[in-house]
Structure formats: structure tokens, C-alpha cells
């Protein structure tokens, strides 16, 4: 499927790539041979006299290419008609259309990248925020694969010691070897448990968070949404019940992708449309990662506020007192909440403090500072690490319990297999095929 844009790129990979370029690409100036990784200007078509388009073309000689095969790229104008004609000419000359993710699959099969890096490609393509993009790039650059490689080396050293004693059962396992086995496995287990624990923050970096703005009618929920977005996205009036449905908008909040949800004010109503809006707002309470519980700070807490607050989990609630520009009545500071924030949605006072509090609620300081911390972002990776950790715990239990070293060796081998699934060394074909089937055509 060829889209429309300023430039379209047609990529060819394989042994015939150079020959196809020499057949269809006609440089404006005569050239002797094709230098690798050099752009040439000319026309593409059956002949120079019958061109399809003016193009830039580049030949990348194996193994110095994305797939480690000979690769040619034709940079033509981004017209659907031009792109289709270029592809038709190449297919007529013996090319076939690539399967989804096939270029990255070839890069993986040819050893240029490991499986976690391949997944980093798709993660980078799908990134929606600065912090998510940074973490995806770390995966693409092989940070997780390198960490797994270091863990595998440590476990292989422990396994070598265990198997050496298995091969010579007449010798007793000395205390130095026991200490080394326990140290290597224990340290690897601690690192793996740390990676597993990073998944929650990693999921936030990758997928973002849902923040619900909740409260009774006319406390300024829609005004707060507009102020956070910096645009008049929600209708604001002095009439209660203006918002009849949930309204959702995404924004990048200091590198964090946030989905803000403006909700209908929770109150008793005879209007069936408003009743449905209230029902939907209640349903969003359990789905939200954070709730901005908004109250009219000038009026103070009401019984209606307290009834609505009772529906929430205080651990994920920010109590936000709006209309501080009009003067605030004291709130019950004993009301449980993750944070208290005073602001004015009308003037913008306190908004930056609220934004900082939202970022800080989800991310630690290293994330906010953009430091190169490694987070697990894929459910598949977490599952592999959890299974590896379970194997290592059983290995330590077997070792400490005085069981036969064969049991220790068995668990260490299983742990190594689970780590290998992350990088693809021991991943079954079914997993590999499923991963690459999610890629887009041309990547």
C-alpha cells in the first residue's frame, strides 16, 4: 500500500538488488560502477527515454546494510501512482513484495540485531512521547540484549562450576565453589527481579497513563481540561450538567503521554442523557491510573463532594482545590489523598505545580531527568524474566537444601533458556513469527 507524501522510498534487499538498480536506474551523469552508500541522481524506468520518475538512488553493499544483504533504495516522489509503477516494474523483473516486517526479520536472522532490538524497532515506530521514544531507542540500540548477555555469562559460569562437580562426583564441593555459585546466581536473580519491577514504569513510558478529572457539576472540570491542554477543547458554561459524556484528549506532559478524561459531574438527575453521562463517569473511575478530584475551593467541600470521593481509591487521588483566585475555604487536610493541589483553572495559577505532581506520581526522578535507566516495556520480556527468576530461585533452594547438583544444573539451564527467549536465541518459531507479523509492510 503506497501512501502519499513528499517522498516515497522503495527498498529492495537480496542478491539481485544491485542488478535491478543497474537495469532500471539511469544516472544523469555517466558513472563507472556503483559506490556503496552513495546517493545518485537520475531517472527510474525501463530506459532513460521512458522514465517513470526523477529519483535519488543508493546501493548499500552487504554486509553493511540494514538486512546484511545487498540493499537498494529508490527515493521517488511520494505519489501513489509513481510508487505503484516503480513497484510494478520491479515485480515484473522478478522481485516479490515483502511480508510485514520482513526486512527487520532478515536483519534478525542474519545476526545484525537480536529479537529484543527488533521489537524495539516497532516500539520506536509506535512511540507517542519523548520518554517513550527514548526508551524504545535504548531497546533498539540493544540495551536489554546486552543486559541479558551479561546475565547469561554469569549463569553460564555458575553452570560450568556445577557441571564440573557433577562430572567428578567423588570430589566434595568446596566452600569457595559453593560461595561462587551462590554469588553468581544470587546477583543475577537480584538484577532480574529489578528488571521485572521496572515493568510498571516501563508500561507507563510506552503506553502512557489515563488521568480522570472527577467532581460534582460546576467545579471547573472542563475549564481545567482546557487549561491543561492549552486550548478550548471542552465547552464551558455556568450551567451545571454541560458535560454529558466523557471527553478524552492526549498530550505529551513533559515527555509523559497522558490521556486526560473530562467527565460528567456526578449528581442525581432526571435527564436520561445526563444520567448516562454520570454512569460512564463512574465506570471510568476504576479504569483511571490517577484521579484529579476537583472541588470548588472557594465554596469548600460539600456532602455531594464527599459522596463522590467515597467512590475513589485515595491512593490514586489528587485532591485539587480550584478557584484559588477567589479565595479558598480550608479543606479537611485529613481527607486521604496522594496529594493536595490548589490552583485556578481560570488564571493558570498552580497549573505547573499540578503538571509536575502528575509526572512525579508516575515516574521517578531518573525518568524525569531523562537519565539512561533501562526499563522493561514488553509483556513478553517480563514473562520471560519472571520465569527465569523462578528457575533461579529453585536453583538456589535446591543448592541450599543440599539436593543433588543435577537439580541445580537443570534449573540453571531452564533459566538460560528463558533469557534466550528475550534475545531470540531460544525463542520458538511461533513467537518469532507472531512478533514480525505485527510489523508494517516495508519495515
Residue 11 assigned as binding residue: yes
- Start-to-end CA distance of the chain, whole Å, equals 13
| Dist. CA 291–CA 96, nearest whole Å | 52
Residue 265 assigned as binding residue: yes
Residue 417 assigned as binding residue: no
Place of cell 531518573: 366
Residue 380 assigned as binding residue: no
Q: How far is CA 118 from CA 104, 140, 359, in A?
A: 6, 7, 29
Residue 263 assigned as binding residue: yes
- The answer to whether the beta carbons of residues 299 and 220 sit under 8 Å apart is no
Handedness of CA 280, 344, 298, 362 (dihedral sign): positive
Residue 345 assigned as binding residue: yes
Residue 321 assigned as binding residue: no
Residue 183 assigned as binding residue: no
By C-alpha distance, which of 373, 391, 400 is closest to 143? 373
Residue 73 assigned as binding residue: yes
Residue 443 assigned as binding residue: yes
| Dist. CA 185–CA 182, nearest whole Å | 5
| Dist. CA 43–CA 26, nearest whole Å | 5
Residue 222 assigned as binding residue: yes
Residue 178 assigned as binding residue: no
Rg, the chain, Cα only: 29
C-alpha cell at 294: 476537583
Residue 96 assigned as binding residue: no
Residue 238 assigned as binding residue: yes
Residue 220 assigned as binding residue: yes
Residue 316 assigned as binding residue: no
Residue 219 assigned as binding residue: yes
C-alpha cell at 3: 501512501
Residues 6+ apart with CB under 8 A from 112: 63, 66, 67, 68
Residue 344 assigned as binding residue: yes
Q: Which helix (H) or strand (E) holds 262?
A: strand 256-262
For 207-224, give one letter per residue: b (16+ CB within 10 A) or e: bbbbbbbbbbbbbbbbbb
Report the C-alpha dihedral over residues 141, 145, 146, 149, rounded to 10 degrees: -160
Residue 112 assigned as binding residue: yes
Q: Are strands 71-78 and 5-13 parallel, antiparallel or unpaired?
A: antiparallel
Residue 237 assigned as binding residue: yes
Question: Which residue numbers belong to the known binding site?
Answer: 11, 73, 112, 218-223, 237-243, 262-265, 344-346, 443
Residues belonging to the binding site for GTP are 218-223, 237-243, 262-265, 344-346
Which amino acids are annotated as binding site for Mg(2+), given as ranges? 222, 243
- Known binding residues for K(+) are 218, 237, 239, 242
Known binding site for (6S)-5-formyl-5,6,7,8-tetrahydrofolate: residues? Answer: 11, 73, 112, 443
Amino acid at each position: 500500500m503506497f501512501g502519499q507524501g513528499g517522498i516515497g522510498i522503495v527498498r529492495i534487499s537480496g542478491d539481485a538488488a544491485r542488478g535491478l538498480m543497474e537495469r532500471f536506474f539511469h544516472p544523469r551523469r555517466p558513472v563507472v560502477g556503483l559506490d556503496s552508500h552513495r546517493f545518485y541522481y537520475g531517472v527510474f524506468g525501463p530506459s532513460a527515454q521512458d522514465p517513470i520518475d526523477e529519483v535519488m538512488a543508493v546501493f548499500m553493499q552487504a554486509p553493511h546494510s540494514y538486512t546484511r544483504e545487498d540493499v537498494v533504495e529508490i527515493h521517488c516522489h511520494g505519489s501513489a501512482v509513481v510508487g505503484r509503477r516503480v513497484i510494478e516494474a520491479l515485480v515484473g523483473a522478478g522481485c516479490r513484495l515483502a511480508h510485514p516486517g520482513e526486512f527487520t526479520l532478515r536483519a534478525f536472522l542474519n545476526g545484525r540485531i537480536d529479537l529484543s532490538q527488533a521489537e524495539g524497532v516497532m516500539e520506536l515506530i509506535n512511540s507517542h512521547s519523548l520518554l517513550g521514544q527514548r526508551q524504545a531507542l535504548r531497546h533498539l540500540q540493544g540495551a536489554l540484549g546486552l543486559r541479558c548477555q551479561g546475565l547469561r555469562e554469569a549463569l553460564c559460569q555458575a553452570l560450568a562450576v556445577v557441571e564440573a562437580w557433577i562430572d567428578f562426583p567423588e570430589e566434595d564441593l568446596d566452600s569457595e565453589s559453593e560461595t561462587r555459585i551462590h554469588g553468581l546466581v544470587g546477583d543475577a536473580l537480584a538484577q532480574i527481579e529489578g528488571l521485572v519491577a521496572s515493568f510498571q514504569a516501563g508500561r507507563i513510558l510506552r503506553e502512557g497513563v489515563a488521568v480522570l478529572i472527577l467532581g460534582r457539576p460546576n467545579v471547573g472540570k472542563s475549564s481545567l481540561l482546557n487549561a491543561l491542554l492549552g486550548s478550548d477543547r471542552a465547552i464551558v458554561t455556568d450551567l451545571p450538567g454541560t458535560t454529558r459524556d466523557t471527553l478524552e484528549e492526549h498530550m505529551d506532559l513533559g515527555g509523559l503521554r497522558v490521556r486526560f478524561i473530562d467527565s460528567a459531574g456526578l449528581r442525581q438527575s432526571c435527564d436520561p442523557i445526563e444520567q448516562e453521562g454520570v454512569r460512564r463517569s463512574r465506570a471510568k473511575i476504576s479504569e483511571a491510573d490517577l484521579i484529579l478530584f476537583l472541588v470548588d475551593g472557594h465554596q469548600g467541600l460539600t456532602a455531594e463532594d464527599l459522596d463522590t470521593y467515597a467512590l475513589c481509591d485515595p491512593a490514586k487521588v489528587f485532591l485539587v482545590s480550584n478557584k484559588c483566585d477567589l479565595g479558598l475555604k480550608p479543606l479537611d487536610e485529613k481527607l486521604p489523598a496522594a496529594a493536595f493541589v490548589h490552583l485556578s483553572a481560570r488564571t493558570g495559577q498552580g497549573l505547573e505545580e499540578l503538571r509536575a505532581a502528575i509526572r512525579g506520581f508516575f515516574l521517578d526522578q531518573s525518568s524525569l531527568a531523562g537519565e539512561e535507566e533501562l526499563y522493561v516495556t514488553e509483556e513478553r520480556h517480563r514473562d520471560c524474566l519472571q520465569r527465569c527468576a523462578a528457575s533461579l530461585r529453585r536453583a538456589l533452594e535446591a543448592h541450599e537444601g543440599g539436593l543433588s547438583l543435577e537439580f541445580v544444573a537443570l534449573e540453571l539451564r531452564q533459566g538460560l533458556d528463558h533469557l534466550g527467549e528475550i534475545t531470540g536465541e531460544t525463542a520458538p518459531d511461533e513467537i518469532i513469527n507472531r512478533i514480525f507479523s505485527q510489523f508494517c509492510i516495508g519495515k
